[in-house]
């Protein structure tokens, strides 16, 4: 019984965190603002090939 309780205590928080998958409206708005700021920065100072590759990796991982 104690083993079952310990297992539940360890697994329950992981399930709760995994359930928070979808972005809410505030997070989508924040991403949109970030993208707009990045576009303005890129218009002033264009990214080089290494920075473009890094961004592509970030988009793939995140």
Determine contact, residues 31/23, Cβ cutoff 8 Å. Answer: yes
Compute the half-sphere exposure of residue 59: CA atoms within 13 Å on the CB side of its CA. Answer: 8
What is the model's pLDDT at position 32? Answer: 93
Residues 12 and 7: their CA atoms lie apart, in Å, by 8
pLDDT at 18: 66
Closest CA to 35 of 59, 51, 53: 59
Q: How confident is the model at residue 8, as a pLDDT?
A: 78
Q: What is the pLDDT of residues 2-43, one digit of tens each?
A: 787 788 788 877 776 666 667 789 989 998 999 999 999 999
- Evaluate if pTM is beyond 0.85: no
Q: Token pair for residue 10?
A: 């360890």
* Distances, alpha carbon 13 to alpha carbons 6, 7, 30, in Å: 12, 11, 26
- The pLDDT, as a whole number, for residue 44 is 93
């Amino acid at each position: 019984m104690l083993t079952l309780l310990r297992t539940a205590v360890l697994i329950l928080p992981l399930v709760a965190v995994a359930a928070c998958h979808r972005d809410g409206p505030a997070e989508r708005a924040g991403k949109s603002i970030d993208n707009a700021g990045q576009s303005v920065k890129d218009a002033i100072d264009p990214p080089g090939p290494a920075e473009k590759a890094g961004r592509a990796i970030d988009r793939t991982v995140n």
